[in-house]
Amino acid sequence: MKTLTLTAIGAALLLPLSVQAEDLKIGYINKMGDHPWFVAEVAGAAEAAREGGAEFVSQDVQFNADLTITTLDTMIGDGVDGIAIVVPDRALGPVVAARAAEAGVPLIAVDDDIQTENGDPVPYVGLNAFAIGENVGKELADFYKAAGWDKSSVGIVSIEDRKADTCMQRNGGAEKALLENSDLTEDQIVRAAYDNTMVNSIDVMTTTLTANPQYDHWIFYACNDDGVLGAARAMENSGYPADAGIGIGIDGSRSCDAFGNGRESAFKGTMWLNSANHGRDAVKLLLAAIQDGEELPQATYSDPEFITLDNFGDYSDRLCS
């Protein structure tokens, strides 16, 4: 029987294992697989796995925390070599991180950042939530100045998914930049909780409009396109003209709905992030870590592109196919 000296063992641990791509399997867990954002994201991940010669498996957990953990355990049991995950609730982070670490499976969080039980960040691919919110706020301020509205006629709606920290960071960035770049003040803000869906955004915005008849004009923001387009449709349904509202979304997933008919609305723009790149980057990083021993970076951010009705034609082929 062969024995290894401590020196030999140490040397072996320092050398990256040579793993053939065709022997690899990457698992991808996402929280809302029927949403355009995640459809594109998973497609990008699958493409990267295919290009890398690795097997790819994915599971939509539809915001179900129990299914998330079950799926994670199943993927680990089935022998995946790396996992990318979009958690339905950031509170799952410590459990997810612990199970992956116990199994020795590299883990990357996508879209929503998570932490270990000790508070250490799990490697993350996505957006800088607060910074992209600031981009939204600056554009809102520019639209507001161009509109020439009297300050006293303006209500601001922060459409908030309070369960998701990344959503609240986006709203926080938008609020900060909007107030810093205009004469608007915090006491004009109405905070409306919603569940991250367009249908609910229509409901909460309609309620907000009814409860605040003192305002003729509205500025609004949310953590995604659904929240903003829902608010714009609520304004339209309530009889407001398109030039009475200014909303800017994040993610670009509803830009075809908003701009495809060529008609002006209160949905003035969106910060498009190509979610396919998120999935693609996550898988590429996992493959590099598994095959080449590269350390997973703590954070990999995507930069947004601002889409409006005016430049939508430059993006329609990519977003509406």
Residue 293 lies in a domain: yes
Tokens of 77: 């049991």
* 135/268 same-domain check: yes
Cβ contact 221:230 at 8 Å = no
* 117/189 same-domain check: no
* 267/185 same-domain check: yes
Residue 96 pLDDT greater than 50, yes or no: yes
* 43/27 same-domain check: yes
Residue 208 lies in a domain: yes
pLDDT the model gives residue 21: 54
CA distance 194 to 269: 20
Residue 55 lies in a domain: yes
* 134/188 same-domain check: yes
Residue 314 lies in a domain: no
CA distance 100 to 90: 16
What CATH number should be reported for the domain holding residue 237?
3.40.50.2300
Residue 2 lies in a domain: no
Question: What's the half-sphere exposure (Cβ side, CA atoms, 13 Å) at 282?
Answer: 36
User: Per-residue pLDDT tens for 124-169?
Assistant: 999 899 999 999 999 999 999 999 999 999 999 999 999 988 899 9
* 118/34 same-domain check: yes
Domain carrying residue 179: 129-272
* Number of domains forming the structure of the chain: 2
Cβ contact 295:289 at 8 Å = yes
**What mean pLDDT is predicted for residues 262-270?**
97
**What mean pLDDT is predicted for residues 254-278?**
95
CA distance 320 to 40: 12
User: Per-residue pLDDT tens for 5-18?
Assistant: 333 323 333 334 44
* 198/85 same-domain check: no
Q: Is 120 exposed, middle or buried (0-12, 13-18, 19+ CB in 10 A)?
A: exposed
